[in-house]
Amino acid sequence: MKIRITACDIAVKQKSTDIIDLAKGKREYTLYFFKNPVLVKTKIGLHDVTAGDCILIAPGFPHYIKSKGEQWNYDSLAFKGSDASRLVNQVGFETNEIHSPLQSYFIDALLEKISKECRALDMMWDRVVACTLDELLTKIIRFSKQDFVLSMPDHSQKLRDLRSEVHETFHLPWTIKKMAEKLSLSSSRFASLYKQEFKTSPTEDLIKTRISQAKKMLSTTKVSVKQVSVACGFESVHYFHRAFKKRIDITPKHYQNFKLSQKGSVPVETKTFTLDGLSSDSDFSGTMEIIDGEIIFHGNDSAWSDFLGYSVDILKGKPFLNFICPQDLDIAREAISNIIDNQNVKDVAVRLTKNDDSLAKIEFSAITKGNTWFWFAKKAFMDD
């Protein structure tokens, strides 16, 4: 659809003495959304409008807007193009007359979206603008013709529109308070309505949206985890790490390495084989000792216990080899042999037999520091 935005002015402030008076009009369509009562010239003559009313002035029609004795504000959008008239006619938007939508909460968000697209000029921005303009005009008509009683319980539509806006601008510092204010609701009332509508809290919904975007970025680029964290709107890389690991079950770095390795493009790791590096990139860790040629883990926490399905007491003192599935025993013995020879081990993939006899794949690392051996394990994807 060939439509070009020629002007998008949001929150324009006018003095009480300011008048818009263009006798010959403009060459494009101009949509005005009024925030205060004003006098406007329409096709039937001078019209007294109130806050929330709007008018779409056709090309060549006079523009005459005058204050009613006080400061006044408005938003406006001007557009033209070979498909502009076709869009207006398809929507059924009568030009040069006042429309009074019973709901106007969506107008600010859609105008801001159009303005942003026109500034950013991202890929296919013109199509996004055309679709958004279509939505804007359609909703004005819908809410102008909708029965007042039917329009009262409109929280569902408002929530869906707000959710779309939040998902599209997930990188912004959204809070429940900010979302609630957009709908003129208290934070508690908003959170309750949101959960009823979408079966999840607004906070969890936003986090999952951010993590979904983070997964796409980690899967396709070698960008650092910190950069992904910032781009996706997380307040800190530490919080991003915890949120990602909690919901995806592995660390962001490990997820990135796995995805890029499938494409034959693994990021170059620098200084990751250190205690700090292994600790931040692993799901489980502790110390270990070698007793009669067997590796015994210490420091098994509840997470490791939950992962394998054994109680902490059973895990204590049980040799590492006891958990290895039979097919991977040779690999595990080779790793143990290296450790006995005082050689570090990095990301050795083995499968463990859990308490319910299912298999879980890990990447196992071991590093010595002084006289102490440390072990690390991170969850790995099972081969298809």
- Three-state SS string over 84-108 comes to HHHHHHHHCCCCCCEECCCCCHHHH
Residue 340 lies in a domain: yes
Q: Do 140 and 168 belong to one domain?
A: no
Q: Do 145 and 195 belong to one domain?
A: no
Of 252, 268, 284, the residue that ends a domain is 268
Of 95, 122, 149, the residue that ends a domain is 149
Q: Do 218 and 350 belong to one domain?
A: no
pTM of the model: 0.52
Q: Do 41 and 145 belong to one domain?
A: yes
Q: Do 39 and 107 belong to one domain?
A: yes
Q: What is the pLDDT of residue 269?
A: 45
The CA–CA distances, whole Å, from 191 to 186, 247, 294, 328 equal: 9, 21, 54, 49
Domain containing residue 325: 275-379
Q: Do 15 and 135 belong to one domain?
A: yes
The number of beta carbons lying within 10 Å of the beta carbon of residue 100 is 13
> DSSP assignment, residue 60?
T
Q: Do 138 and 225 belong to one domain?
A: no
Which mean pLDDT values do the consecutive 10-residue runs of the chain (384 residues) have? 90 92 94 94 91 94 90 94 93 93 85 92 91 94 68 69 89 92 88 90 94 89 87 90 88 85 54 70 81 75 80 78 88 85 86 89 87 84 57
Q: Do 75 and 89 belong to one domain?
A: yes
In the chain, the number of structural domains is 3
Q: Do 139 and 170 belong to one domain?
A: no
Could you give the angle at the alpha carbon of 89 between the alpha carbons of 86 and 91, nearest 5°? 110
Residue linked to tokens 């957009």: 182
Q: Do 309 and 237 belong to one domain?
A: no
Residue 384 lies in a domain: no
Task: Return d(Cα 55, Cα 57) in angstroms, integer.
Answer: 6
Q: Do 181 and 253 belong to one domain?
A: yes
Residue 77 lies in a domain: yes
Q: Do 29 and 139 belong to one domain?
A: yes
